[in-house]
Structure 1
Amino acid sequence: MRILLVEDDAAIVSALSSLLRSEGYDVASCAGQNEALALAEQGCDLALLDVSLAQGNGFATCAGLRAANPELPVIFLTASDDECSTVTGLDLGAVDYVAKPFRPRELLARVKAALRQARPPAHVLTCGPLRLDPASARVSRDGREVFLSPIEYRLLLALMGAEGRLVTRQALAEALWESGGSYLSDNSLNVYLRRLREKVEEDPSHPKLIVTVRGLGYRMGS
């Protein structure tokens, strides 16, 4: 995933670039509108824009990026957190608006959420008797529909989308953050996992589908 960072504060560019690269993202950065539009032509999966730039402004940059690629997710990252600026950014097609100073883990969660929304899983996910269709948000077990709450659904989607790979508790919290609006405590995450298991496991006290990897997280079994 390639992220375009448009910011004229060198210290923020350095810190954010290091943070994003530590999570495996490729980062291209610039300080002005014209350079941002030129870099975007080389391809990017998400843009982080400041409103105040060395040349041009974030709103015009957002409009230009969205005109060239209407599907590109844009997140505004700025000290201008007043309602008018927020509404303007969202009206231009931005998917999120983060005010400075920001918490690094929260920003990463917002980036991941925006990328998930932009590229939802297109194929039906299966695990043993479970079937999850992201296109319709329907879950079934042995052909019978399972009715989940929005948070339970997001939790199961994060687990099944990993296709058997380990999903850490931090990653699950970030997946649930998108719908809950804030990070969940460990106790809350445990509650949602227990409720989900009660709905999808044959024997919730001995889960075989949502398997605990002690001290690390969870993975889907079979």
Structure 2
Amino acid sequence: MILRARVNARLREGNAAASDTIRVDGFSFSFARMEFSKNNMPIELSKTEQKLLRILLENKGQVLPRVQLVDSVWTNGAEYVDENALSVTIKRLRDKLEDTPSSPEYIKTIYGIGYTWAVK
């Protein structure tokens, strides 16, 4: 009886992880398993990069203001986070995800407002 319950729990975990995978173009992002790849090549992402990427993907096509992104990503109780931290994290994500980081296709800057994951 206990073994059956454990097997069923593992199966549910596996299904949850599979449904948590987001596929866009050649990307595969599994936040549950913390596995990220582009064209089947693994991508190493920091926890902060993962949080930011997930927010962008969950709001695909929507412009997210810089303040909202800072509040959403750096929620660990820090009293003050410089907005430059967001710019640096965006740059690191672009360097890892974009073919040409200086001319991004996916993470677009909306000048004076914030960022968006371009719909593909």
How far 1:126 moved relative to its partner? 2.9
Which residue number corresponds to residue 201 of structure 1?
98
**1:157 maps to 2:66:** no
Distance 1:185 1:144, change over 3 A: same
Alignment of 1:13-32 (within 5 A): none
Distance 1:145 1:181, change over 3 A: farther
Q: For the residues of structure 2 that align with 1:157 and 1:172, how far apart are their CA atoms?
A: 11
Q: For the residues of structure 2 that align with 1:136 and 1:205, how far apart are their CA atoms?
A: 30
Tell me, which stretches of 5 or more residues in structure 1 are unaligned?
1-121
Q: Under a length normalisation based on structure 2, what TM-score does the superposition of the two structures give?
A: 0.73
How far 1:124 moved relative to its partner? 2.1
Q: For the residues of structure 2 that align with 1:127 and 1:220, how far apart are their CA atoms?
A: 11
- CA RMSD of superposed structures (Å): 1.9
Alignment of 1:37-116 (within 5 A): none
Greater relative CO, 1 or 2 (CA 8 Å, sep 6+): 2
AA aligned opposite 1:219: T
Distance 1:164 1:123, change over 3 A: farther
Question: For the Cα contact (< 8 Å) 2:64–2:115, is it kept in 1?
Answer: yes
Question: For the Cα contact (< 8 Å) 1:176–1:184, is it kept in 2?
Answer: no
Which residue number corresponds to residue 215 of structure 1?
112
How many residues align? The count is 101
Which residue number corresponds to residue 131 of structure 1?
28
How far 1:137 moved relative to its partner? 2.1
Tell me, which stretches of 5 or more residues in structure 2 are unaligned?
1-18
How far 1:127 moved relative to its partner? 2.9
Distance 1:130 1:164, change over 3 A: farther
Distance 1:138 1:127, change over 3 A: same
AA aligned opposite 1:124: T
Larger radius of gyration, structure 1 or 2? 1
**1:184 maps to 2:95:** no
Distance 1:157 1:183, change over 3 A: farther
